[in-house]
Amino acid sequence: MSSCADSPHAQDPLDPLNSPNSADSPPLPEAGAVPTRRPVRVRRVDQTQSLDELFRHCLPAFGGAYLRRIYTILDRAIGMGCPLTMSIAGPVTVSGQHQAWLIPLLEAGWIAYLSTTDAVCYHDGHRSLQGHTRDPIFEVPIFGDDGALRDDRTIRVTDMAFDEEVLLDQDRFLSALLALEEFQRPMTGTELRYRLGAWFGRQEEAGGVPAGLLSTCHRLAIPVFVGAPGDGSVFLNSMKLWAMQKAGLVQQHAFSLDLHAEVFEACAYHRWGLFDNHPFALGTWILGGGVPKNYNLQPEPALGQILGLPDVRGYEFDVQIVTAPITDGSLSSCPPAEAVTWGKVDKETYVQSTESMQADYSMVMPFLVKALLENRARHEARVEEIGFDAAVDEDPRVRGYLRSREGYRLFARRDALTGKLLEAVREQGDWLLESLRYPLPV
């Protein structure tokens, strides 16, 4: 089984990590070896013609060099055709960032699935609520008078705010939705969010507002995972209905989350990326830490350590933008190199294909996404000029950048992919049965 590192364009001379004139860091030397000296070469910003050139030639050192490496690793991963998973912590929907840069990124077809928070999904619905479709979210000072905001029934999320009635109407919408017959059974969280996306989309269309995150993921069949579903208001509304049923106020509330099936589904997608989809490797793009980050990294140990499947590798590409300092010892801050020791990141490639940058991702993501989308547009223009095959011969990254905008549509394929993983589990039956043996102190 080959990987991205084995593909013919892994040593593409256009790749800055292989270019002798690059300002990017070379692979780390072996212990005791003297590192190769590489000259620092820059270009004046008024001589650059694109964001790509700016990232490559105008960020020579310090924090800027971290950002340059993040960008060039993403360029390699996309150019090689690796599916990317993405974890997002933080209020990306209430702040409008999903519409600014996340949805354009998803529509490029490079992202296989998302891992995020219940709050991200909950706040995604505010702009489409009846009676709130005209700018329900507004700016407030971070260090203002929060007591006055409370008296005014204004809810604040950092420097974003909305009327408390938006929150209450969102709860009414979700409670009414979760009481529908289509939700009266156990289901995975990915199915719940897929169905929510359909309803959010109807609300958006009725209100004439731009598409949100969940409706976009529904349209593109992108699975959305939430590792801590009990920690958010979507599930709190289900809890309300559960309590009402227990109190005899409603006749039924049969909805529940099947967490076993949801985790298994994530594992099935990871297995697909490693064994069923060329180039037989995966990359991950981590924004912020916490549960979304860990959920994105856990399929490899689940497949190899827990289920005992052979030849399971971690992510070949891993870039993360987090605010937590590495000295705090948290999962949020741990770099990809630490994940190598757990098997979550491929030990054969991590030196050249991973990077962790300490930053607020809201400051850099618009520029990273814009640069990558500009690359796609440039490749599309070149294909128009000389044809696809000639463009690929000229720059092999064309093939990866110009993969279908429809994306991988993994949620639409989940039954087949989970079925394949279940068969692999059966084949490991002897190992799994033996793994149940332990001399418990009884």
For residue 131, how far is the Cα from the chain centroid? 32
How much is the pLDDT for 87? 97
How much is the pLDDT for 29? 53
In this predicted model, what pLDDT tens digit does every residue of 115-155 receive, in sequence order? 999 999 999 999 999 999 889 999 999 999 999 999 999 99
List, in sequence order, every residue forming a beta bridge with 187; answer none if it has no partner.
Answer: 257
Question: Is 195 contained in some domain?
Answer: yes
CATH of the domain at 72: 3.40.910.10
Question: Is 211 contained in some domain?
Answer: yes
What residues in the chain have per-residue pLDDT under 50? 1-26
Task: State whether residue 311 is helix, strand or coil.
Answer: coil
How much is the pLDDT for 30? 57
Residue with tokens 């190769």: 36
Its domain, for residue 100, covers: 4-26+39-130+168-428
CB contact at 8 A, 241 and 178 = yes
CB contact at 8 A, 337 and 375 = no
How much is the pLDDT for 241? 98
- Interacting residues of 195 by C-beta distance below 8 A, sequence separation 6+: 182, 183
List, in sequence order, every residue forming a beta bridge with 225; answer none if it has no partner.
Answer: 115
- Interacting residues of 347 by C-beta distance below 8 A, sequence separation 6+: 314, 340
Half-sphere exposure of 11 (CA within 13 A, CB side): 2
Question: Is 221 contained in some domain?
Answer: yes
pTM of the model: 0.91
Question: Is 226 contained in some domain?
Answer: yes
Question: Is 43 contained in some domain?
Answer: yes
Rg of the chain, C-alpha, whole Å: 23
How much is the pLDDT for 328? 86
Question: Is 222 contained in some domain?
Answer: yes
Question: Is 282 contained in some domain?
Answer: yes
Task: State whether residue 151 is helix, strand or coil.
Answer: helix
How much is the pLDDT for 2? 42
Number of domain units in the chain: 1
- Interacting residues of 169 by C-beta distance below 8 A, sequence separation 6+: 129, 130, 131, 132
In this predicted model, what pLDDT tens digit does every residue of 251-274 receive, in sequence order? 999 999 999 999 999 999 999 999
